[in-house]
Structure 1
Amino acid sequence: MKGEDHIVTNDRPRPMEVLREARAQLAELTGMTAESVSSFAQTEDGWSLEVEVLELERVPDTMSLMATYQVELDPDGQLTGYRRVRRYERGRADAHRAGGR
Structure 2
Amino acid sequence: MSTSSESESAPERPTAPSVATRAVRELAELTGHDIESVIGVERHEDGWRVRLEVVELRRVPDSTDLLSAYEVDLDDGAEVTSFRRLRRYDRGRARED
TM-score by length of 1: 0.82
Q: Which amino acid aligns with 1:46?
A: G
1:2-13 counterparts in 2 under 5 A? 11-13=12-14
Structure 1 partner of 2:25: 24
Structure 2 partner of 1:75: 76
| 1:80 CA displacement | 0.4
In structure 2, what is the Cα distance between the partners aligned to 1:38 and 1:14? Answer: 16
The DSSP-based 3-state class of the residue aligned with 1:85 is: strand
| 1:86 CA displacement | 0.6
**RMSD across aligned positions (CA):** 1.5
| 1:61 CA displacement | 0.5
In structure 1, what is the Cα distance between the partners aligned to 2:68 and 2:24? Answer: 14
| 1:93 CA displacement | 1.4
Following TM superposition, the consecutive aligned residue runs of length 4 or more in structure 1 with deviations greater than 2 angstroms are none
Structure 2 partner of 1:66: 67
Name the one with the larger helix percent: 1
Gaps of 5+ in 2: 1-5
Gaps of 5+ in 1: none
Q: Which amino acid aligns with 1:85?
A: L
Q: If you compute each CA radius of gyration, which structure gives the higher value, 1 or 2?
A: 2
